[in-house]
Structure 1
Amino acid sequence: MSMMHETFAWELEPGIMLRGDVRVYADGERKPVIVLIHGFKGFKDWGMFPYVAQRLAGQEYAVVTFNFSHNGVGAGGTEFDELDKFARNTHTLELRDLGVVIGAIQDGRMPLSQEMDADRVMLVGHSRGGGDCVLYAAEYPEDVKGIVSWNGIADCNLFSDEFREQVLEDGVGYVANARTKQQMPIAASFFEDLTLNQERYHIVKRAASLQMPALFVQGDADTPRLVEGYHRLQEEAPQHRYVLLLEVDHTFGTKHPWVGTTLALEKAIVLTRGFAAGLFERERIGLEMD
């Protein structure tokens, strides 16, 4: 039995595309679904993500990956060639995109839907995608059974106050992409969106209110801001599970282009698969008792 891999591309509005992939071992049995979410300056085919999708799938799960419609990566899939869209990206747009993906799973419109159990969905997000997991699950708890955050943000505003003020005054600011050497634009709409949704996008408060199981995996060699956010989550939302990986950076030691896995990445995968197994076993037992 081999893994099946199908792609999808949906036009959400003129010129705005949502592209993704489904990976699953198709044996006619409906499997729980893991939705894998990239972060800021990330995309579904960055380095580790295709490998992670295959490893998370194993023979037990269907895994969906996708590019946010405004992540700046176009049809080619590996270059930031839509920087105008990247500039206008917001958490509101990302949560909308995630809702479209989950809606397609629920409605049977996703490729290989016949292999999916739409009632058992888990979110796994990296970096900003980890924050999106918390926000989506808090707002739509009926859609997902649990979440996992890998080196996830605890604050939607990743930037300094000085940068924010400059962007709001000038209409746009730029952040460097160390890998591509591009200057990535951030439009004022990003900060305006955060101002309009201060409580809705307060990740720590939303995590504290979250009743479903959640796992936060954090490398201690990540940026100080993310490590501090991890500890703040641990203090304010102690009902969840937390694992700190020692001497592990933001991408678990992996690079783009992909050159191979690392011990740190394998630890994150094993932790996530173990969490999924426990989560969906609890769900199965609950269904049987009902």
Structure 2
Amino acid sequence: MAQQPLKTAPFEFPLEHDLTLRGEVRVSGEEGRRPVALLVHGFKGFKDWGFFPYAAEQLARSGFAVVTFNFSCNGVGHADFDELHKFGRNTYSREQADLTALLERWQAGELPLSDRMDAARTALIGHSRGGGNSLMFAASHPEAFQAVVSWNGIADANLFGDEFREQVLLEGIGYVENARTKQQMPITAAFFEDLDQNRDRFDIVKAIARLPLPVLTIQGDRDAQRLVLGQERLRQAAPHQRHLLIEGANHTFGAIHPFAGTTPHLERALELTVDFLKEYR
């Protein structure tokens, strides 16, 4: 991908209940409005994790105005998981509300570099849980987007087993370890209660089946078996959409955090994404 100068501008705006949305906009230095690509991080992810800044830069150099952001309850404020009390409050309803707030801001031209963004041409790109969130949100707001891309995205909104679910519902809270930081990250009963109350809304397989937009799912065949099988469920529900496997790729396309450089699998995922989105921008 050609190296072009980039402009990067941060944004921060308050939400209800002491929550904040923080992010950046990246766009190439050339004049003119660009189609928008909104990158959506996953569970235990954040906008500065691993390959996300690199992916944003490469997409911007490919001609997109790229928006990255932290979900307001992803547990990251100004440092690596410094808000675990908010992480414990997180639900899909909260994340969908964050996406709505962000959508309203960029459609109103309130994000930085908005004069370089063509809000009428917007794509969602989500990784892991962010892929599922992107499909669900696009299904609820199909008029706002031109395309959706899911990188190793989930097909089932419930990320946990039955035993953990029952424990959390009984005790009100449970913990999952962050393998990298060794932090015990809280999951409260609100997560499962939200799922139970919104079963149809958060059914990712149904969401992709009814989406009138072009969708691309990219799945590494060395990812967790649950996700590889999940992509097959998405394929069966929406055979008219595009579903691609990257042989040998794991959940993060071989990238790590802190970012140690790109990988052939990550470059392939970006190439497939750009080629797909250029068909609809």
Residue 138, structure 1, aligned to residue 130, structure 2: no
**Overall identity of the aligned pairs, in %:** 54
Measured in 2, the distance between the counterparts of 1:222 and 1:88 equals 28
Aligned-pair RMSD on alpha carbons?
A: 0.9
CA offset digits 1:63-121 (Å, max 9, x no partner): 00000000000123xx1111111011011111111111121111000000000101000
1:4 to 4, 7, 31: 7
Within a 5 Å distance, the mapping from 1:39-78 to structure 2 comes to: 39-76=42-79
Partner of 1:153: 154
Indicate the SS of the match to 2:279.
Answer: helix
Within a 5 Å distance, the mapping from 1:138-287 to structure 2 comes to: 138-280=139-281
Measured in 2, the distance between the counterparts of 1:233 and 1:59 equals 28
Contact 1:28 1:114 in 2 (8 A): no
The one-letter amino acid paired with 1:37 is V
Q: Which runs of 5+ in 1 are unaligned?
A: 281-290
TM-score w.r.t. length of structure 1? 0.94
Q: After the TM superposition, which segments of 4 or more aligned residues of structure 1 sit over 4 Å from their partners? A: none
Please say which of residues 100-109 and 215-224 is displaced more in the overlay: 100-109
Partner of 1:23: 26
Measured in 2, the distance between the counterparts of 1:48 and 1:94 equals 21
Measured in 1, the distance between the counterparts of 2:250 and 2:144 equals 31
CA offset digits 1:33-68 (Å, max 9, x no partner): 000010000000001000000001115110000000
Aligned residue pairs, count: 278
Residue 122, structure 1, aligned to residue 116, structure 2: no
TM-score w.r.t. length of structure 2? 0.97
Please say which of residues 9-18 and 161-170 is displaced more in the overlay: 9-18
The one-letter amino acid paired with 2:20 is M
Partner of 1:286: none
Contact 2:62 2:274 in 1 (8 A): no
Measured in 1, the distance between the counterparts of 2:17 and 2:95 equals 17
The one-letter amino acid paired with 1:66 is F
Partner of 1:288: none
The one-letter amino acid paired with 1:217 is I
Q: Which runs of 5+ in 2 are unaligned?
A: none
Measured in 2, the distance between the counterparts of 1:15 and 1:257 equals 29
Partner of 1:283: none
